[in-house]
């Protein structure tokens, strides 16, 4: 057996016990209902851009708590009146909607692109939620004492409402939505396709937000902030671990119906590969994963972008015929 085959077999055997609580589905039904009851109030302003084969818009829409979520919406120019597929991008931790130039390969392929901020991170998007408790180190510990207040409850619904924004645009065919992101963005992507049936595929790299109790125990990446919080508040350990379970993608994986293309890096200590396999191994539908044996959290970089382009051409090329 080859080196990679052996590593894959080890990872495919990784199956930590689920932490899913009995009211998990009811919690998300309530949360999604609350989000749907808030008007989207979308805005878009066209921005002059030097690449004439793309039309660029500065956009915003309202989150569940009224926070204005900012992003970029990019449309291939000269496509006529026929709606096009849309790729929705979610960024990594502390990032932002990014720079439009970074999405032009998708536009050249024929996709409209929507890239949105995660609230309270490196972009233009703030956070209107009033928290009733302090936090430590970063937003991954914000509101962790209360699942209804927790930061990722709002980040997940912001990400879901990006689909609503995309589907409301006249240039977009809402039946042809692709989700894409890395690290935190990969975790958001997994949550989105678990909670919403509209996307037709998810492309996720070095994904976060899986096997969260182990992430906290190992002080891995952003969720080390939760460990820092529990150093100050050890009496809340059971409560906090219970709350995290509602946002753990391994507890949602059985809901994922669309195809998934994933990648992990075996030297990744921020989002260790086995953590994501706790989710990946529970996806029941079509799935593929690429291993980068000697890469860290940077993942496959440009090489993985090539993999994603070829995957889309193979499985969805008929969209552009």
**DSSP labels, 159-195:** HHHHHHHHHTSTTEEEEEEEEEEETHHHHHHHHHHHH
Per-position DSSP letters for 108-131, written without gaps between them? HHT-EEEEEPPTTSSSS-------
pLDDT in tens, 213-234: 999 999 999 999 999 999 999 9
Question: Would the pTM of this model clear 0.95, i.e. be above it?
Answer: yes
Residue 12 has pLDDT above 80, yes or no: yes
User: Does 10 fall in a domain?
Assistant: yes
Greatest C-alpha distance within the chain: 60
CB 43 within 8 A of CB 59: yes
User: Does 168 fall in a domain?
Assistant: yes
- pLDDT confidence of 81, banded at 50, 70, 90? confident
The whole-chain average pLDDT of the chain stands at 97
In the chain, % of residues over pLDDT 90: 96
CB 215 within 8 A of CB 278: no
pLDDT at 174: 98
Torsion from C-alpha of 25, 26, 32, 34, nearest 10 degrees: -170
Residue 281 has pLDDT above 80, yes or no: yes
pLDDT at 184: 99
Q: Which residues are catalytic?
A: 183, 268, 297
- pLDDT confidence of 32, banded at 50, 70, 90? very high
Query: Residue 125 is part of a domain; what is its CATH number?
Result: 3.40.50.1820
| Of residues 236, 156, 161, the one with CA closest to residue 198 | 161
Residue 136 has pLDDT above 90, yes or no: no
pLDDT at 307: 99
User: Does 144 fall in a domain?
Assistant: yes
Q: List residues bridging with 92 in a β-sheet.
A: none
Residue 313 has pLDDT above 90, yes or no: yes
Residue 30 has pLDDT above 80, yes or no: yes
Residue 135 has pLDDT above 90, yes or no: no
User: Does 215 fall in a domain?
Assistant: yes
| Of residues 265, 104, 123, the one with CA closest to residue 183 | 265
User: Does 321 fall in a domain?
Assistant: no
Residue 155 has pLDDT above 80, yes or no: yes
pLDDT at 305: 98
Task: Give the separation between CA 140 and CA 304, rounded to whole angstroms.
Answer: 27
Count of structural domains within the chain: 1
pLDDT at 251: 99
Residue 68 has pLDDT above 80, yes or no: yes
The average pLDDT across 117-141 equals 93
Domain limits for position 202: 3-316
Q: Which residue has the tokens 């692709």?
A: 178
The average pLDDT across 81-103 equals 97
């Amino acid at each position: 057996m080859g080196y990679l085959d052996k590593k894959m077999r080890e990872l495919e055997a990784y199956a930590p016990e689920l932490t899913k609580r009995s009211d998990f589905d009811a919690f998300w039904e309530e949360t999604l209902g609350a989000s749907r009851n808030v008007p989207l109030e979308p805005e878009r302003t066209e921005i002059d851009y030097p690449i004439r084969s793309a039309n660029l818009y500065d956009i915003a829409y309202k989150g569940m708590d009224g926070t204005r979520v900012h992003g970029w919406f990019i449309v291939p120019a000269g496509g006529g009146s026929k709606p096009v597929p849309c790729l929705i991008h979610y960024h990594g931790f502390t990032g932002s909607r990014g720079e439009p130039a970074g999405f032009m390969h998708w536009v050249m392929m024929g996709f409209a692109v929507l890239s949105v901020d995660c609230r309270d991170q490196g972009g233009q998007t703030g956070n209107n939620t009033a928290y009733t408790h302090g936090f430590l180190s970063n937003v991954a510990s914000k509101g962790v004492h209360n699942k209804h207040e927790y930061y990722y409850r709002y980040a997940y619904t912001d990400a879901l409402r990006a689909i609503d924004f995309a589907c409301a645009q006249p240039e977009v065919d809402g039946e042809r939505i692709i989700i894409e992101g890395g690290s935190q963005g990969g975790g958001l992507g997994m949550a989105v396709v678990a909670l919403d049936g509209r996307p037709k595929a998810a492309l996720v790299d070095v994904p976060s937000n899986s096997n969260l109790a182990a992430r906290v125990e190992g002080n891995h990446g952003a969720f080390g902030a939760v460990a820092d919080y529990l150093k100050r508040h050890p009496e809340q350990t059971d409560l906090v671990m219970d709350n995290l379970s509602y946002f753990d993608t391994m507890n949602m994986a059985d809901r994922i119906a669309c195809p998934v293309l994933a990648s992990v890096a075996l030297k990744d200590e921020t989002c260790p590969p086995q953590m994501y396999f706790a989710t990946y191994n529970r996806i029941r539908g079509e799935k593929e994963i690429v291993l980068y044996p000697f890469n860290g959290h940077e993942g496959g970089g440009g090489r993985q972008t090539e993999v994603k382009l070829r995957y889309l051409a193979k499985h969805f090329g008929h969209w552009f015929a």
